[in-house]
Structure 1
Amino acid sequence: MKEIREKARELMKGYCRVCKICDGRACAGEVPGMGGLGTGSAFRNNVTALADVTLNMRLLHNAIQPDTSTSVLGIPLSMPVMAAPIGGISFNMGGGISEEDYAEAIVCGCRDKGVIGCTGDGVPPMIHESGFAAIRKAEGHGIPFIKPWDGSEMVEKLEKARETGCSIFGMDVDAAGLITLRQMGRPVTPKTPDELAAIIERIHSWGAKFILKGVMTPDEALLAAEVGADAIVISNHGGRVLDHAPGTAKVVPGIADAAKGRIRLLVDGGIRDGVDVLKMLALGADAVMIGRPFSIAALGGLREGVGAYIDTLKAQLVQAMVLTGCNDIASIDKRILHED
């Protein structure tokens, strides 16, 4: 991983410093790029909120070889981890590799290791086209995320995504107002419950499932369930759309209290290692999405780099489960969290 990170730092110069501690301080306001919007506080809040969560260490138990496997929306996973949908290599990451190579590294690298990668959307068309091509190459093992476009573009992209053979579709509604899209003259907008319900009904008619990314409050989590979404991603878009938003780790417990069991709960934001994965699960998430670390692994090592990061992540998760007495994913709950 050290070599992969060094290569990524070389290729991403001017767009991401590949800091030892990825907390958004060095890249505040660098959007486009990999930074957070404005002051960068929402990016930093993701990291600090998760860092503030501490764990109870327990070693008087029989959790010697924890089982990290699980299933999310009918997809078996070697651990409850997905690569978050990120695109725009040329204007966000420096263009050191092609959009096609990036998407393939994420999607196929995740499939190699038994997890699943998501693909991004945006302007220009090569972003979604590269993602769709990677999912087709992976025989449908990937989740295409479509931006909340207005009018016919949404339907057209969903139909194209359907041709990849995927069984899950996503919409990152948290991209509404994204600076990069406004700069390109292609703004995206929030969706009404009725609009969402129509989109979800179409996807369900295909026998597929739908993930809504960008939910940060309990009321909208319940609303997502009411309109038929199968899962939500608790996300502030990596701190890239609303300055001063809270860290996702702060809002997961309240959303879980309101909606767990009614809709599957995924979360992203500030997750860097296997211990962070464990924390988010203990707070109430069913699985996590990870963004920037996967991007660094893909830029620095392509498909093999993604695989190396996943191996590292799984080893860290197993160690953390041993040290907190968790035999399997189902046994991870609030009891492992330390309360002052």
Structure 2
Amino acid sequence: MDLKTIRATAKKNMNGTCRVCPICNGRVCAGEVPGMGGTGTGESFTENVRALANIKLNMRTIHDALEPDTTVSMFGQLLKTPIMGAPITGSGINAGGAISELEMVTAIVEGSTLAGSLGWIGDPANASLYEDGLAAIRAGKQGIAIIKPRIDSKEILALFKLAEEAGAVALGVDLDGAGLVTMALKGQPVGPKTKSQLKELIEATSLPFIVKGIMTADDAIKCVKAGAKAIVVSNHGGRVLDHTPGAADVLPEIVKAVKGKITILVDGGIRSGADVLKLLALGAEGVLIGRPLIVAAYGGGTEGVQTLLEKYTAELRAAMILTGCKNLKDISPEVLFKHK
């Protein structure tokens, strides 16, 4: 399956909800929420892409990094790549509904697994849609579940239990969803968590705990103190708060504050393996892919997702050769060009 066919099929299936633009930067779809765009002016979405585009790489060709190793250990799993499938829900509302929620989340989880990675599932207000995600994890016997930060912690814990029983290798909450009005409209209000509330959730499960939606160093430090295993530096794809910086812009400060104390993941604006290299050079240990995988799922199902993730991994490997990195640990800030 080739990407040109995947994109052409996705454009037809998404029927205008996503234009499948040559450059996915959020400009055409700005403000289209529900939809594929960023909230308000759409600047938070576009900033994710801009922040990565502004980072340049140092090309080095005198070295012996001939066959780079992209494997990484993550949440007790040995992965072929640090590139994972982000938790995505709302196929019918946001992407046109040509494929069902079950088909989309299965494509992401199965496609990620076939690419040697991990697929994440999300938690929408509709319980049946969460069950679709759990079914995908059960089928593959692995995956990660991220739950909305409901005000009632008992509801979160009940969803944690379902994820544990399904065979999830890790779970957590996406605090970047703390202001989602749609959840409240469906009788499941969400909100931020205090450090003590977060600590209670972390202590309620034996699985590695992930906090998604961290954009400042002080919040990252709170996650460390609460006992979280990992954070995802993310502005929710620019879909929840207008006028935020890009994830790549805030990542260095967060890395400086908590590197070595917690696993640092990041999402937002990643469109190639070179983008992945940039984020790893800034200090991230893994990345999540969102919108491009929706297009891949709509254009080619499981095979489409696998194809895209393998393409990004191949691009990462090529970029590692041309920057002199034998493995992921070799990727350092020295890879990045610094303007004088």
TM-score band, normalised by shorter chain:
over 0.9
> Residue 133 of structure 2 corresponds to which residue in structure 1?
131
Q: Distance in 1 between matches of 2:173 and 2:52?
A: 25
Q: What secondary structure, in the 3-state scheme, does the structure 1 residue paired with 2:218 have?
A: helix
Q: Distance in 1 between matches of 2:330 and 2:129?
A: 39
- Aligned-pair CA distance for 1:183: 4.5
- Aligned-pair CA distance for 1:185: 4.6
Task: Give the alignment partner of residue 66 of structure 2, picking from 64, 67, 91.
Answer: 64
Instruction: Please tell me the residue identity of whatever aligns with 1:243.
Output: D
2:280 matches 1:278: no
Q: What secondary structure, in the 3-state scheme, does the structure 1 residue paired with 2:248 have?
A: helix
The range that moved more, 68-77 or 329-338, is 68-77
- Aligned-pair CA distance for 1:179: 4.0
Kept in 1, the 8 Å contact 2:83–2:313? The answer is no
Task: Give the alignment partner of residue 35 of structure 1, picking from 21, 34, 37.
Answer: 37
| Unpaired stretches in structure 1, ≥5 consecutive residues | none
* 1:134-283 to 2 correspondences below 5 Å: 134-139=136-141, 141-151=142-152, 152-204=154-206, 208-283=207-282
- Aligned-pair CA distance for 1:252: 0.6
Kept in 2, the 8 Å contact 1:233–1:265? The answer is yes
Q: Distance in 1 between matches of 2:125 and 2:327?
A: 41
Instruction: Please tell me the residue identity of whatever aligns with 1:254.
Output: E
Q: Distance in 2 between matches of 1:117 and 1:273?
A: 18
Q: Distance in 2 between matches of 1:8 and 1:230?
A: 36
Q: What secondary structure, in the 3-state scheme, does the structure 2 residue paired with 1:338 have?
A: coil
Q: Distance in 2 between matches of 1:101 and 1:217?
A: 35
> Residue 309 of structure 2 corresponds to which residue in structure 1?
310
Q: Distance in 2 between matches of 1:181 and 1:28?
A: 22
The 1:37–1:179 alpha-carbon spacing in structure 2 relative to 1, beyond 3 Å, is: farther
| Unpaired stretches in structure 2, ≥5 consecutive residues | none
Q: Distance in 2 between matches of 1:178 and 1:19?
A: 27
TM-score of the superposed pair, with normalisation by structure 2? 0.97
Q: What secondary structure, in the 3-state scheme, does the structure 1 residue paired with 2:205 have?
A: helix
The range that moved more, 9-18 or 282-291, is 9-18
> Residue 117 of structure 2 corresponds to which residue in structure 1?
115
> Residue 26 of structure 2 corresponds to which residue in structure 1?
24
- Aligned-pair CA distance for 1:27: 0.5
Kept in 2, the 8 Å contact 1:197–1:227? The answer is yes
Q: Distance in 1 between matches of 2:136 and 2:304?
A: 16
> Residue 337 of structure 1 corresponds to which residue in structure 2?
336
Q: Distance in 2 between matches of 1:69 and 1:176?
A: 33
Task: Give the alignment partner of residue 104 of structure 1, picking from 93, 103, 106.
Answer: 106
TM-score of the superposed pair, with normalisation by structure 1? 0.97
Q: Distance in 2 between matches of 1:13 and 1:170?
A: 33
**Aligned CA-pair RMSD:** 1.0
- 1:175-208 Cα deviation digits (max 9, x unpaired): 111243345453310111111101100113xxx1
Instruction: Please tell me the residue identity of whatever aligns with 2:189.
Output: P
| Percentage of pairs with the same residue | 50
- 1:204-227 Cα deviation digits (max 9, x unpaired): 3xxx11100000111110110000
The range that moved more, 150-159 or 271-280, is 150-159
Q: Distance in 2 between matches of 1:126 and 1:339?
A: 49
- 1:82-114 Cα deviation digits (max 9, x unpaired): 111010111011101011111111111111121
Q: Distance in 1 between matches of 2:214 and 2:194?
A: 14
